[in-house]
Amino acid sequence: MKITRARALGTCFGVRDAIEAALDPAFKGDLTIVGQLVHNPQTVQKLRDHGVQMVDSLDDEIESRNVMITAHGTAESVKEKLSDRGFTVYDASCPLVLRVHTAVRRLVSEGWHPVVFGQEKHVEVRGIVGDLEDYTVVGGSGDIEKLAGKARIGIVCQTTHRITEARGILDEIRNRFPEMEVEFVDTVCKPTKDRQSAVEELADDLARGQGVMVVVGGYNSSNTRKLLEVCSERQVTAHHIENEDQLESAWFTGVEHVGITAGTSTPHEVVDAVHVRITELSR
């Protein structure tokens, strides 16, 4: 059985740098992360093992002096609130998320109504819109009517959005509101684009050879779900797992080609362990 890894997969530099920062021994266990730093259970456990505490929101009790903002970023007002409460704030926001914040500030200053293509409740999107008085989040075609009556809209994307989907919605907006002025800033990050194009290539290969894909990533990871969507569109069977223990030998019976891909918060050692386990199961 042939096993192929997607040519780009797993942890991106933004997540890697944030994890390294949180594991810095200088914190001596005196650190709380607000929100999930990464959507990966093994990494979350490693952080806990290093004494890092995690809370879901600012309303939760924080016992450390140091507080870390996740790679997904947050609103300036949130950082100010934390400082006002006496915490020392460490900002592990990915520079490519901060690029989205900068793009939105520029659009607003130029008089565009800010629009974000993304998931309304996702922490990254909450951070992008958190300081805005007026904005619209478009999760899909069903949200386009929310833009009725706007004269000028400036659009950015959640960094992990599928760029093909974003361009499709953009076309729908232009067709539905031909009079509307639209400025689009492509803020899907390069690591996401690389992983999306790599999984598309591999899924096309698997579709030709009746192969199956194994997608490794947290069940609550947005970008991992996008990798599964790519497989589903090509009618390639995909199995979503968080670690190698969840692999089932029956998935590979009679299969000649297995592809492996992984979301941007999946550590490379987890991908390696999955690869080894599939090799064992194929014997």
- Name the site residues for ligand SF4 (rule: CB under 6 A): 12-15, 71, 94, 96-97, 159-160, 189, 191-192, 264
- Please tell me the chain's helix, strand, coil percentages from 3-state DSSP, rounded to the nearest 5: 45, 20, 35
CB distance 97 to 71 below 8 Å: yes
Among the residues of 136-253, which ranges form H helices?
Answer: 163-176, 190-208, 222-233
The torsion angle over the Cα atoms of residues 171, 176, 178 and 180, rounded to 10 degrees, is -90
The phi, psi pair for 277, rounded to 5°, reads -65, -40
CA-closest candidate to residue 21, choices 108, 115, 92:
92
- Is 183 one of the annotated active-site residues of the chain? no
105: DSSP letter: H
State the minimum distance, in angstroms, from the CB of residue 253 to ligand SF4: 35
How many CB atoms are located within 10 Å of the residue 111 CB? 10
Q: Of 19 and 206, which has the nearer Cβ to ligand SF4?
A: 19
Which residue minimizes CB distance to ligand SF4?
Answer: 14
Write down the least CB distance from residue 129 to ligand SF4, Å. Answer: 16
Closer of 5 and 226 to ligand SF4 (Cβ): 226
| Residue 64 or 159 having the CB closest to ligand SF4 | 159
CA distance 2 to 24: 40
Pairing of strands 88-91, 53-55: unpaired
Cβ nearer to ligand SF4, comparing 72 with 277 = 72
* List 61, 124, 133, 145, catalytic entry: 124
Give the nearest distance from C-beta 42 to ligand SF4 in angstroms.
17
Alpha-carbon torsion, ordered 54, 60, 64, 67, to 10 deg: 70
Whichever of 96 and 236 has its CB closer to ligand SF4, that residue is 96
Q: Least Å distance between CB 187 and ligand SF4? A: 9
| Least separation in angstroms between CB 202 and ligand SF4 | 19
Which of the residues are catalytic?
124
